[in-house]
Amino acid sequence: MSETERQFAICIRNDGYEESLEPRKIYEILEDSIAAQHGMIRVIDEEGEDYLYPKEWFLPIQLPETIEQAVLELTHRSPAA
């Protein structure tokens, strides 16, 4: 996936995953056609790892380029930064 094809979604549920997911937060989504067949979505979570979560916990969104870049800078920043 190229930089221009990044996908994002807003978390609307986090049942049992309160430490990993934050409602109302924007998350980067990774394309995973096999997960999609099972009603799941691959999300980069709070720890920066990608995990599968139920698709209905997220609403896909399109971000203007400037906001997308700001979100990426914040989410890919090292903890010491």
**Cα 45-51-63 angle, rounded to 5 deg:** 50
CA distances from 15 to 7, 11, 25, 65, 71 (A): 23, 11, 15, 31, 24
pLDDT digit string, tens, across residues 32-70: 999 999 999 999 976 788 999 999 999 999 998 888 888
Query: Which CATH number covers residue 54?
Result: 2.30.30
* Residue 35 located in a structural domain: yes
In a domain, 16, yes or no: yes
**Residue 51, C-beta contacts closer than 8 angstroms, at least 6 positions apart:** 20, 42, 43, 45
State the pLDDT at residue 14: 94
Render pLDDT for 23-37 as a digit per residue (tens, 0 to 9).
999 999 999 999 999
- Quick check: 78 pLDDT over 80? no
Is 68 a member of any domain? yes
Range of the domain at 63: 3-75
Q: Tell me if 20 sits within 8 A of 47, measured CB to CB.
A: yes
Over the stretch 6-27, which tens digit does the pLDDT of each residue have? Answer: 899 999 999 998 988 999 999 9
80 in a structural domain: no
19: part of which helix (H) or strand (E)?
A: none
Number of domains comprising the chain? 1
